């Protein structure tokens, strides 16, 4: 979503680094460019004005004059002020001393509220909680059915009106919400997520309905789900709902879209409510707490290593990853191991999104369209091999390569490329790692103070327990 804004900031800061010391004229020039970049990103004009006033006050004060490198300090000031307008810190969720903790979900029609309710249930479950989803959206005939389908994928029960009542269209959402609290206590569920009917901000009757649901459930958190793709309309929606409900925070959906990002950068300053969670894709796993500092870093091209690490922890089995690394170092890493590693990388999300989280990535690569189907083609080629071929690629002759290509929809040249690169990785690891039987394959100089022999130019830390070598993927490198 923030690619255009990130590119603008990248250009501004490149020119800024070309200056020596910065006077007020140079600061004003930079702020003018930042103003234009933010307005083009659809950031609320009041937010832009206040942000630039704060940046200018810090840049022209003693804080900047005492800096050895003013350009770096301006970047740091912009970064800290972006964090501030995004909310400062991630919202911390606390739980009721007497369960259940009740969460009310509100939003406009089409904002993705029902799907977001299921995503939130999945998130609570990942925190060790036992959520209950409540289908209180009886206005839309398929809403409860949709919620049940999504809940089944998450492994969370749904409480709603009986099917015949839902079909008749005479169900009472307020009664459903009230009954859900008693049901949660009976089932031992410690979090209740109430999915209310989507409504238009001008629909007075539906606004009264959600107010009555709020009165009977007395939620600990009231979240407004807004579509980040709607830009400043999302901020207006939040303002309208905040007049009717005691909103605690906002959940942004479609943060992975191609909109300019103005909603994310405006909602906290304009509405006074933080962004609690953000949805970054269609999958139920594409959802997490909103971290202002991480998003500010991504906007300025600093990457988001912490989120990348968290995704890796969720996707990779630690014991299996260590075992695979050991086999790689020993030179016994097979195509079966490679296939397993690719499966786990896919759990982390689209590869293009992962690249965007890496710091220092050139904008050409950050903005490149990386086709995840390349990974699928690699999987198809490996799956077309027999178990024996995966363990010993050396046995794959010309006729076997043709069979693998035909079975995977690839060409023999693509099969050759996969086998060649995999063989190169194995050869490299046999050279720098430890071979079978625990003896080093190649002699080299000894590391000082360790007594360990390492290849020339390679530290013991890198060979033993340090950074793991990367596998290059054909078609992606």
Domains of the chain: 3-86 (1.20.120.140), 101-302 (3.40.50.300), 317-463 (1.10.260.30)
Burial classification of residue 242, based on how many CB atoms lie within 10 Å of its CB (0-12 exposed, 13-18 middle, 19 or more buried): middle
Q: Which residue matches tokens 């307008």?
A: 85
At 340 the pLDDT is 73
Phi, psi of 457, rounded to the nearest 5 degrees: 85, 0
At 117 the pLDDT is 95
At 15 the pLDDT is 75
Q: Give, as one character, the DSSP assignment of residue 309.
A: H
At 403 the pLDDT is 93
Q: What is the pTM of this model?
A: 0.63
Phi, psi of 375, rounded to the nearest 5 degrees: -65, -40
Strand order in the sheet with 131-136: 158-159, 131-136, 191-196, 101-107, 221-227, 249-253, 275-279, 287-289
- Bridge partners, 195 (sequence order): 105, 135
At 100 the pLDDT is 95
At 13 the pLDDT is 76
- Using CA of residue 311, residue 313, residue 316, residue 321, what is the dihedral sign? positive
At 157 the pLDDT is 95
Low-confidence ranges of the chain (pLDDT < 50): 303-306, 364-365, 434-477
């Amino acid at each position: 979503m923030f690619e255009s804004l990130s590119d603008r900031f990248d250009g501004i800061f490149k020119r800024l680094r070309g200056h020596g010391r910065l006077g007020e004229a140079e600061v004003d020039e930079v702020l003018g460019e930042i103003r234009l970049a933010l307005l083009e990103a659809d950031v609320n004009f009041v937010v832009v004005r206040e942000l630039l006033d704060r940046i200018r006050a810090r840049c022209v004060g003693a804080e900047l004059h005492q800096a050895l490198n003013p350009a770096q300090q301006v970047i740091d000031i912009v970064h800290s002020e972006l964090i501030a307008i995004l909310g400062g810190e991630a919202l911390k969720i606390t739980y009721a001393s007497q369960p259940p903790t009740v969460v009310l979900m509100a939003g406009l029609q089409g904002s993705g509220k029902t799907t977001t309710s299921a995503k939130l249930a999945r998130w609570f479950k990942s925190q060790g909680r036992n959520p209950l989803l409540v289908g209180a959206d009886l206005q839309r005939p398929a809403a409860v059915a949709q919620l049940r389908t999504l809940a089944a994928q998450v492994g969370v029960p749904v409480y709603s009106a009986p099917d015949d009542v839902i079909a008749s269209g005479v169900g009472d959402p307020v009664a459903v919400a009230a009954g859900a609290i008693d049901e949660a206590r009976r089932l031992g569920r410690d979090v209740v997520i109430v999915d209310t009917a989507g409504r238009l901000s001008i629909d007075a009757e539906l606004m009264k309905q959600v107010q009555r649901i709020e009165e009977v459930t007395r939620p600990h958190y009231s979240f407004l789900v807004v579509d980040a793709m709607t830009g400043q309309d999302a901020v207006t929606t939040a303002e309208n709902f905040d007049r009717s409900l005691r909103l605690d925070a906002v959940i942004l959906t479609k943060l992975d879209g191609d909109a300019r990002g103005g909603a994310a950068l405006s909602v906290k300053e304009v509405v006074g409510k933080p962004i609690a969670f953000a949805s970054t894709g269609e999958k139920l796993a594409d959802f997490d707490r909103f971290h202002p500092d991480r998003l500010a870093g991504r906007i300025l091209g600093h990457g988001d290593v912490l989120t990348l690490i968290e995704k890796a922890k969720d996707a990779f089995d630690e014991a299996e990853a260590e075992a695979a690394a050991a086999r790689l170092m020993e030179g016994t890493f097979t195509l079966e191991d490679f296939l397993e590693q690719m499966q786990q990388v896919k759990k982390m999300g689209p590869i293009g999104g992962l690249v965007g989280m890496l710091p220092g990535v050139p904008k050409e690569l950050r903005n490149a369209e990386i086709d995840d189907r390349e990974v699928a083609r690699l999987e198809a080629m490996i799956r077309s091999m027999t178990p024996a071929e995966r363990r010993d690629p050396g046995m794959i002759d010309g006729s076997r390569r043709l069979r693998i290509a035909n079975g995977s929809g690839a060409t023999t040249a693509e099969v050759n490329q996969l086998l060649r690169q995999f063989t190169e990785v194995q050869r490299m690891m046999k050279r720098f790692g430890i071979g079978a039987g625990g003896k080093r394959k190649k002699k080299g100089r000894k590391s000082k103070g360790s007594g360990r022999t390492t290849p020339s130019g390679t530290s013991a830390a890198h060979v033993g327990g340090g950074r793991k070598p990367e596998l290059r993927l054909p078609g992606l490198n």
